[in-house]
Amino acid sequence: MSVLTFKGGVHPYDGKDLTKDVPTRRINPKGELVFPMSQHIGAPATPMVKIGDRVLKGQKIGEASGFVSANIHSSVSGTVKKIEPRLVTNGTKVMSIVIENDELYEEIDTNSKNILENCDKKTLKDAIKEAVKEAGIVGLGGACFPTHVKLAPKDESAIDYVIVNAAECEPYITADYRRMTENPKELLEGLSIVLHLFDNAKGVVAIEDNKPDVIENLTKLAEKYERIEVKALKTKYPQGSERHIIYAVTGRKINSKKLPADAGCIVDNVDTIYSIYRAVKEGKPLTERIVTVSGDGIHNPCNLVVPFGTSHTQLIEEAGGMDENVEKIISGGPMMGQALFDTDVPVIKGSSSLLLFKHDEVKAAKMTNCLNCGKCVNVCPEGLVCAKLAQAAALGDKEMFIKYNGMECIECGTCNYICPARRNITQSVRTMKRAIIADRKKG
Amino acid sequence: MYYVSSSPHVKAKLTTNRIMIDVVIAMIPAALFGIINSGMLFGGFYAFRAFILIAVAIGSCVLSEYIYNKIIKREQTIGDMSAVVTGMILALNLPVTFPIWMTILGSVFAIIVVKQLFGGLGQNFMNPALGARCFLVLSFAKQMTAFFPVNVDAVSSATPLTMLKNGADTDLLTMFIGNHAGTIGETSVIALLIGALYLTVRNIIDLRIPLTYIGVFAVCILLFGGQGFDSVYMLKHICGGGLIFGAFYMATDYSTSPITTKGKYLYGICLGVLTALFRTFGNTAEGVSFAIIFCNLLVPLIENITIPKAFGLEKEKEA
């Protein structure tokens, strides 16, 4: 099998051996669970419950407040204690519903919701989309874009690829790997559900070649699906970037002004596809996900099935506690994740991992002048002149920044990783992008 | 308390400091060869003298940077080892008979005038060692071309490149090994290539520049070198003078070469053409140093016309 990839990229230490062979384990959240109303891109959901209400597991507690928005469901049964702004992983406070877990896990009735059997062909497409929307499914790779929006492109017939992004190129994270190992059949079934929506599309499960066992197993299982195939990607960061996985699989390129659908593609993460399977086949809303807890600062690195709303503090306890010398805690991967200053924040739809490190490489790095060595240029997956963008950012020169295509940056952090002078290239470019976007909004 | 910073949170191993150390390591074979070669050609005293020149150049470069930083009250930067690299390149560019005080003057010029006044590491628009070399050539032309001690018999007193220029015959193998007169570090092609290989394996230098440079230079020599399509003559030109040293160690200097990929090729082409022109039609036999510093000045222009098209924007821009 040929191995597909893109130009540029880096090979950071991947640390996946710490957790890749640890089977997932469901945890039982204690006490209060916090459900922020904004866990996705788009408008925040509107709370549908009042303080004192009793809610069931799987009950909708936040209603999508627009087309680009997503429903939020309770992951446990219990009582609504508070509705107030709470701290979330990105350091801001977001309006949240706080539910006291009664540990009964009483579930709302989801019987006879298998719409694949209960719908005729005509209404099936709409029923699938409706089920995905109702289940509050968003892109679980981290961007959290509402999936029902993705599944409704302008022209359905123009979609010829549905790509399952199974690259999992961020170091340490093994959540998707565990999902593919433990639920391969459900994954392929989920993909075939999505293929119901796009008559001209073929399904591709695109996996980095550092997971040969999964590639082999899925290839075998995919044999019975006419429209599904498994493709191996070169193991390289950021192989899982949407633009670059599309390029690797189809040879088509999209830029910042285009959507995957413009290139005839729908790209969804592994767990997203699995959630679609659960929503459509079992009528289950999205209320939990696999979270990898790893790094050298945690005693028992593991993969946990975590109900949303659980505090990160409890994940640390479940993983055997943390080393007292931990310097840095990251929600998400080391390349694009969010550093936490407080672990008492809830697990949300986008939380793929919690990493604890005894040694913060950023703190230890000693910055020198830019050498103009060009290593950032060689590794940038977007083909940008990163050093010049950082220079433009330092000068506040927006014209130069745009001339050097700065708005195309995907903030993958590759330049920053490779930089021998330890310059904060990604951070500078990110700040500049935000400033220019703000300017444009002002008009 | 935990440390909080914006992503990414991990870093590759290679640092500025390590790059500079690698460049120094890569020049050690050439330096050792230069020391031994001086001794073999002119006697043990000159081996010692070559060593002293290298030590003096490195020492005065580091000291200049140290004092400059002290005076203008900036954070000390000598730890990044870049001054050591400058000193070493400068010394390897000097003839073994070169006066000590002029070496010190050259080092101070390289660090203070060419590098620090423009903002230090990475900010200079001209290679410091080469800037200093050209400064020394213009100021002390006689001493800079005194490749032989005065007591040596005048018959053999020409470098292979000068002999080549004057139409005399030279031995290609001698030029490749480097057991002939020249500046301390430029003579041995084999020693320089060993270092270049090390830099390539360590991923320090980008071969686009040196290979384009040498390739274009070779073509130019064949086209208008004056000897017609003579491949041995061409190889002698490549092995002679400072071409190999310049191509792999000076043209690849990060801050004074283009950062864009296409720019690197264009830069190599400019270098090849200019060096061939200088060597063929110039007054002196050598042309590498001036070609490189001249092209250093073209770098901002080259970068400006070679901004790459971003991923997915290739077609849009053409339309």
Summarize the confidence of residues A287-291 as an average pLDDT.
95
Across the interface, of A91, A338, A383, the residue whose CB is closest to B309 is A383
Of the three residues A331, A357, A383, the one that is the final residue of a domain is: A357
CA-wise closest residue to B212 among B162, B174, B169, B252: B252
Q: In 10 A of CB B297, how many CB atoms?
A: 11
CB contact under 8 A, B314 and A12: no
Q: Is B308 within 8 Å of chain A by CB? A: yes
A219 and A343 together in one domain: no
CA distances for A67 relative to A146, A159, B118, angstroms = 9, 21, 55
pLDDT band at B157 (very low <50, low <70, confident <90, very high): low
What DSSP character marks residue B303?
Answer: H
A147 and A187 together in one domain: yes
Q: Is B12 within 8 Å of chain A by CB? A: yes
A88 and A207 together in one domain: no
A94 and A133 together in one domain: no
Report the percentage of chain A scoring pLDDT > 90: 84
pLDDT tens digits, B224-244: 887 878 888 899 889 988 899
CA-wise closest residue to A148 among A281, A289, A280, A291: A280
A18 located within any domain: no
As given in the structure block, the two tokens for residue B144 are: 């800079």
Contact (Cβ atoms closer than 8 angstroms) between residue B256 and residue B296: yes
Contact (Cβ atoms closer than 8 angstroms) between residue B199 and residue B254: no
Domain interval for residue A394: 375-442
* Chain A interface test: which of B123, B206, B311 (most A C-beta within 10 Å): B311
Q: What is the pLDDT of residue B283?
A: 78
A318 and A201 together in one domain: no
B153 pLDDT exceeds 70? no
What DSSP character marks residue B98?
Answer: -
The C-alpha angle with vertex B20 and arms to B18 and B22, in degrees rounded to 5, equals: 70
Q: What is the pLDDT of residue A418?
A: 95
Across the interface, of A258, A327, A404, the residue whose CB is closest to B2 is A327
B318 pLDDT exceeds 60? no
A219 and A164 together in one domain: yes
A130 and A143 together in one domain: yes
Summarize the confidence of residues A409-435 as an average pLDDT.
94
A1 located within any domain: no
Across the interface, of A243, A326, A422, the residue whose CB is closest to B312 is A243
Which amino acid, B278? F
Of the three residues A324, A357, A390, the one that is the final residue of a domain is: A357
A413 and A340 together in one domain: no
Contact (Cβ atoms closer than 8 angstroms) between residue A249 and residue A222: no
Residues of B in contact with A373 (CB under 8 A): 19, 254, 259
Summarize the confidence of residues B6-31 as an average pLDDT.
94
A248 and A337 together in one domain: no
* Chain A interface test: which of B2, B20, B317 (most A C-beta within 10 Å): B2
Summarize the confidence of residues A38-47 as an average pLDDT.
92
A268 and A150 together in one domain: yes
A301 pLDDT exceeds 80? yes
Summarize the confidence of residues A215-241 as an average pLDDT.
94
A104 and A116 together in one domain: no
Radius of gyration (Cα) for chain B, nearest Å? 20
Contact (Cβ atoms closer than 8 angstroms) between residue B65 and residue B75: no
* Chain B interface test: which of A13, A90, A236, A255 (most B C-beta within 10 Å): A255
Residue with tokens 């043209």: B251
* pLDDT, mean over chain A: 92
Q: What is the pLDDT of residue B151?
A: 61
> How far away is chain A from the Cα of B310, in angstroms, using its nearest Cα?
5
Report the percentage of chain B scoring pLDDT > 70: 96
Q: What is the pLDDT of residue B160?
A: 80
A2 pLDDT exceeds 90? no
A381 located within any domain: yes
Chain centre distance of CA B188 = 14
Report the percentage of chain A scoring pLDDT > 70: 98
Q: Is A339 within 8 Å of chain B by CB? A: yes
Q: Is B223 within 8 Å of chain A by CB? A: no
A1 pLDDT exceeds 70? no
Contact (Cβ atoms closer than 8 angstroms) between residue A329 and residue A339: yes
pLDDT band at B169 (very low <50, low <70, confident <90, very high): confident
Summarize the confidence of residues B255-274 as an average pLDDT.
95
Chain centre distance of CA A124 = 27
A141 pLDDT exceeds 90? no
3-state secondary structure chain A: CCCECCCCCECCCCCHHHCCCCCCEECCCCCEEEEECCCCCCECCEECCCCCCEECECCEEEECCCCCECCEECCCCEEEEEEEEEECCCCCEEEEEEEEECCCCCECCCCCCCHHHHCCHHHHHHHHHHHHHHCCCECCCCCCCEHHHHCCCCCHHHCCEEEEEECCCCCCCCHHHHHHHHCHHHHHHHHHHHHHHCCCCEEEEEEECCCHHHHHHHHHHHCCCCCEEEEEECCCECCCCHHHHHHHHHCCCCCCCCCHHHHCEEEEEHHHHHHHHHHHHHCCCCCEEEEEEECCCECCCEEEEEECCCEHHHHHHHCCCECCCCCEEEECCCCCCEECCCCCCECCCCCCEEEEECCCHHHHCCCCCCCCCCHHHHHCCCCCCHHHHHHHHHHCCHHHHHHCCHHHCCCCCHHHHHCCCCCCHHHHHHHHHHHHHHHHHHC
Contact (Cβ atoms closer than 8 angstroms) between residue B314 and residue A256: no
* Strands (E) located in B139-284: none
Residues of A in contact with B20 (CB under 8 A): none
* pLDDT, mean over chain B: 90
The C-alpha angle with vertex A17 and arms to A16 and A20, in degrees rounded to 5, equals: 75
B37 pLDDT exceeds 50? yes
CA distances for B37 relative to A357, B88, B227, angstroms = 53, 17, 30
Q: Is A66 within 8 Å of chain B by CB? A: no
A368 located within any domain: no
Which amino acid, A260? P
As given in the structure block, the two tokens for residue B311 are: 């991923």
Class of domain B16-148+159-305: mainly alpha
B319 pLDDT exceeds 50? no
CB contact under 8 A, B3 and A371: no
pLDDT band at B156 (very low <50, low <70, confident <90, very high): low
A16 located within any domain: no
A134 and A191 together in one domain: yes
3-state secondary structure B168-181: CCCCHHHHHHCCCC
Summarize the confidence of residues B211-236 as an average pLDDT.
90
A139 pLDDT exceeds 60? yes
Give chain A's domain count: 3
pLDDT band at B155 (very low <50, low <70, confident <90, very high): very low
Of the three residues A294, A323, A357, the one that is the final residue of a domain is: A357
Q: What is the pLDDT of residue B20?
A: 95
